[in-house]
């Protein structure tokens, strides 16, 4: 079955690492995988092991202001604009393919004011709604903590939001804030993924701050990540992510 998973969390907790590892796990199951980098740091391609030559050809869609303004039907940053712009061709034009998966780098758009929807943001949100509705793809989206690209029109198609935490109170508190935002949008939050766990005590460091959220998976600290940006596809970390993939497939298929 195709899975539609968004991954969020406080900066530095390892959500990009999990997004990449989960993408690889889905590829190993024979899925056609679309990995979407919607984090302003744009690190998902390297975590996936996409060669630098391919990555050098990629410009985040959020930086293509002329294109976004054209699709919104207005000059960049002003005037009336289309809330349902034409976006169906953007995936084919701007994705890169490597080792059985496709990568699309979205980036993020800073809206000009509280409560204001800029045309560039409207186009990217419309694109996300389109991508999560594609039945042929399993999709993994590496998000920023603010869930910028998601909305109520997207929530119906996203199977689950995974929130990543590390063994630290600040990370767990951020997870509870993200969960409240997500549930307000109608997103399913099955629980949190505890990353960088060095032993059983890691759970005790976050449980008091999770406000009732379940820990649905515990991922071990991965020494290999200290020497390489690319996520390992074998070893204890990859095995733990594979168990998470199987659990998500079972839960979301119910």
pLDDT band at 121 (very low <50, low <70, confident <90, very high): confident
Give Cα separations from 101 to 83, 150, 225 (angstroms): 30, 22, 21
Q: CA-CA distance, 27 to 34, in Å (whole number)?
A: 10
List domains and CATH numbers for the chain. Answer: 4-252 (3.40.50.300)
* Kind of pairing between the strands at 33-38 and 101-105: parallel
65-106 confidence digits (pLDDT tens): 888 888 888 654 455 555 567 888 999 999 999 999 999 998
* Token code pair at residue 173: 């508190």
Nearest by Cα to 51 from 113, 117, 98: 98
The pTM (predicted TM-score) of the whole model is 0.90
130-185 confidence digits (pLDDT tens): 998 898 999 999 998 778 778 777 777 888 999 999 999 999 999 999 999 998 88
Alpha helices (H) in the chain, listed in sequence order? 15-28, 44-48, 52-55, 65-72, 90-94, 119-132, 152-155, 169-184, 201-206, 236-252
What is the rounded end-to-end Cα distance, in angstroms, of the chain?
Answer: 11
Q: How much is the average pLDDT of 49-66?
A: 90
């Amino acid at each position: 079955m195709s899975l539609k998973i968004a991954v969020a969390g406080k900066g530095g907790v390892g959500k990009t690492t999990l997004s990449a590892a989960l993408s690889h796990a889905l590829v190993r199951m024979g899925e056609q995988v679309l990995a979407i980098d919607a984090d302003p740091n744009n690190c998902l391609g390297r975590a996936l092991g996409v060669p630098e030559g391919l990555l050098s050809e990629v410009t985040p869609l959020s930086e293509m202001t002329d294109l976004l303004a054209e699709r919104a039907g207005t000059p960049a940053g002003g005037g009336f604009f289309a809330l349902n712009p034409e976006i169906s061709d953007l995936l084919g034009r701007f994705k890169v393919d490597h080792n059985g998966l496709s990568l699309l780098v979205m980036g993020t758009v800073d809206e000009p004011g509280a409560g204001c929807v800029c045309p560039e943001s409207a186009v990217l949100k419309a694109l996300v709604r389109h991508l999560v509705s594609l039945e042929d793809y399993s999709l993994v989206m590496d998000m920023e903590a603010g869930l910028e690209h998601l909305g109520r029109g997207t929530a119906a198609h996203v199977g689950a939001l995974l929130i990543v935490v590390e063994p630290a109170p600040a990370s767990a508190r951020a997870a509870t804030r993200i969960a409240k935002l997500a549930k307000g949008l109608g997103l399913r939050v099955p629980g949190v993924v505890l990353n960088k766990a060095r032993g059983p005590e890691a759970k005790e460091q976050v449980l008091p701050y999770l406000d009732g959220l379940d820990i649905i998976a515990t991922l071990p600290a991965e020494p290999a990540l200290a020497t390489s940006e690319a996520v390992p596809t074998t070893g204890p970390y990859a095995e733990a992510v594979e168990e998470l993939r199987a659990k998500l497939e079972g839960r979301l298929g119910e």
